[in-house]
Amino acid sequence: MTKRGVTATTITSARAASATDKKPIASSFQILLPFLLTGQVIARRLLYSIRVSMSGGEVFHEKQRLELCAIHALNNVLQERVFTKETADDICKRLAPQCMMNPHRSVLGTGNYDVNVIMAALQSRELAAVWWDKRRSVQNLCLNKIQGFILNVPSRVSLGIVSLPLRRRHWLAVREVNGQYYNLDSKLKGPGCIGGETELRSFLTEQLSPDVAEMLLVVQKEVEDDGTWLKPKDPEN
């Protein structure tokens, strides 16, 4: 009986010791888990928003994710990560607080924000979005009064690496950084250098050639109010 008792006690003690040994491992994993998840989030943000060293200096460029091109265009034209999906969703709710199906974003919750969200977002930064009348020539733009451009253009739809024979409307940003204008389309691998003012006007003319293409001028509020984003008319004409 003593032998059996000793054996039972030994087994019980061994099991207790084994359970005790496992506890620190579980606790350590629980402690590390938040840091691991935070690291994944940070890595994902770094992957989609980076500063690229160009010949003229660093250029901020946020890459495409889901249907968040409006957010990417806003951040790229501001050259910093200001807006997120959460802030854009909050704007949607403020614009249509009583609507079950919000008309300013995708019903799937993947983004696809409309122009009202972009305009409200810029207003929160003391900026304005001026709609460009395409009947005017881009030669009439007073570029030194314009902070940047947000264009809405038709763009091919991709499913992973497969490009589908479909086109959807897409927001993209263009702005000047250190004397050079850049195409900051979030679908590009990196910022595309357009060049100087002459090259910019040619680029904008080409981008606005499709009937459905539109452009917003991002300007200071006072520039919107006094209309100085447009060159004054020649008195002789």
Helix (H/G/I), strand (E/B), else coil: 99: coil
- Other beta carbons less than 10 A from residue 90's beta carbon: 12
- Other beta carbons less than 10 A from residue 99's beta carbon: 11
Q: Is 72 an active-site residue?
A: no
Which residue among the candidates 61, 72, 104, 170 is catalytic per the annotation? Answer: 170
Distance CA 3, CA 8 (A): 9
Max CA pair span of the chain: 119
Residue 236 to residues 23, 136, 231, Cα–Cα distance (Å): 87, 18, 14
Q: Is 170 an active-site residue?
A: yes
Short-list 129, 110, 108, 107, CA closest to 120 = 129
Q: Which residues share a beta bridge with 149?
A: 174, 217
Q: Is the CB of residue 229 less than 8 Å from the CB of residue 145?
A: yes
Angle (nearest 5°) at CA 189 between 39 and 147: 95
Q: Where are the beta strands (DSSP E) in 31-141?
A: 49-54, 57-62, 127-131
Which residue among the candidates 69, 72, 92, 104 is catalytic per the annotation? Answer: 69
Enzyme catalytic residues = 69, 170
